[in-house]
Structure 1
Amino acid sequence: MTKGWIAVVAGALESGDGQWLMHLRPEGKHHAGLWEFPGGKVDPGELPAAALVRELAEELGIDCVASDLVPCGFAETPGSDGGDAEGSPALVIMLYRIARWQGEPQALEGAGMGWFTPEEIAALPKPPLDAELAARLFHFR
């Protein structure tokens, strides 16, 4: 039996020239060396948009306004029984599209970041949920 679920938020930052920001997972973390939309876990009692504003400030050093975040999709894992009594919780990532922020994004956490076209993002190695989110956002098949 699956033990609950973990809420995660991610931001699809869109530059004015058709490129999108992707974040490189650092060594020592799950999915290390793969590209993802930046974000992180929603803390208990925190609204998803507020969590993403906080996460982007921590990871990229930018300031966003929650009302500027536009929900654009989600993806989830089913969780698993993990062979123990508690099981592994499901993971639900909520993706927000972001076109406005203050500051210049920097890789404050993680192994790096870069700006990519949707076609380039399709070719990047990504965790499964980020691949699913990118396919939905950019209408890949």
Structure 2
Amino acid sequence: MAAQIVVAGALISGATLLVAQRQRPPDLAGLWELPGGKVVPGELEADALVRELNEELGVDVVVGERLGADVPIGESMILRAYLVTHTGGALHPHDHRALRWVSAAELESLAWVPADRAWLPELAKRLGG
């Protein structure tokens, strides 16, 4: 069986990155992440990320280059991050407790979901940190 691909979007504005605070499941609630979600069968990763960010944040994005390497989660999931550019819509945390813009200096101090920590060095570079 193929691994479930989960896509995440790194939305950078100037020298800040948008991060989202999880509402669920209980073991991840309160932790911060790059927003995104699961790719459904037959869907392109970029299309899934556009759909997920629209559903979760109410924004339209254009998906750019991959960020960092694949991050395996357990035995059946692979997490992939992409840089995204905001093209329309107003940010709203439809599926999260909160949204926040953070600088490179703040990245390490956030309580991240464990899988997303793999991208912190790359994110810091992108933010000029």
Specify the alignment match of 1:39 in structure 2: 36
Cα distance change of structure 1 residues 126 and 45 upon mapping to structure 2, 3 Å threshold: same
One-letter amino acid of the counterpart of residue 6, structure 2: V
Give the total of aligned pairs. Answer: 125
Distance 2:68 2:5 in 1: 13
Relative to the length of structure 1, the TM-score reads: 0.79
Shift of 1:64: 1.7
* Partner deviation per Cα, 1:61-106 (whole Å, 9 max, x = no partner): 001234xx22222332363xxxxxxxxx332111111233212211
Larger radius of gyration between Structure 1 and Structure 2: 1
Tell me which stretches of 4 or more aligned residues in structure 1 moved more than 6 Å: none
Q: CA deviation at 1:135?
A: 2.6
RMSD value over aligned CA atoms? 1.8
Q: Which runs of 5+ in 2 are unaligned?
A: none
User: How far off its partner does 1:25 sit?
Assistant: 0.4
For residues 45 and 112 of structure 1, do their structure 2 counterparts lie closer, same or farther at Cα, with a shift above 3 Å needed? Answer: same
Question: Please, which moves more after superposition, 109-118 or 93-102?
Answer: 93-102
Percent identity, aligned pairs only, is 38
Does the aligned pair in 1 maintain the 2:62–2:84 contact within 8 Å? Answer: no
Tell me if 1:56 matches 2:53: yes
* 1:135 partner amino acid: P
**Using the alignment, how far apart are the partners of 1:91 and 1:137 within structure 2?**
22
Structure 1: 5+ residue stretches without partners = 80-88
1:106 to 68, 79, 92: 92
Question: Which AA in structure 1 matches 2:100?
Answer: G
TM-score by length of 2: 0.86
